[in-house]
Structures are given as structure tokens and as C-alpha cells.
Amino acid sequence: MLLLVAVVVVVVVVVVVVVVVVVEEEEVVIIEVVAAAAALLLLLLVVVVVVVVVVVVEFSG
């Protein structure tokens, strides 16, 4: 559980840093930022689901 939290925190930090860097580097259309954020959140959700499934399988097995 602690590992899951750590992974989520790391991913969120990386996403925030990337977004800040991209926004600083160039003028970005808000829609692009929103689309990228949505894609990253979807990816994060997938990662979390996979991790949860793996953890559940590990503990039940």
C-alpha cells in the first residue's frame, strides 16, 4: 500500500514538473494542456489499476 502511494506521488510530481516546463518553454494552447492532462490522468489511472490488481493477486496467492 505504501509502495502504491509512493508510485502515485512520484508520477504526480513528474507530471506537474513536465507541465510546468512545457508551459514555461512556449505559449501553449489551453486545450492542448487540458488534453495532455486528461491523457496523463488516464495513464495514471491505468497504472494504478494495474498495480492494485498485481497487489491483490500477490496477497490472495
pLDDT for residue 42: 86
Residue ranges covered by each domain of the chain: 21-61
pLDDT for residue 13: 81
pLDDT for residue 28: 65
52 CB contacts (<8 Å, ≥6 apart)? 4
- pTM for the model stands at 0.49
pLDDT for residue 18: 77
Nearest to 37 by CA among 55, 16, 6: 16
pLDDT < 50 regions, the chain = none
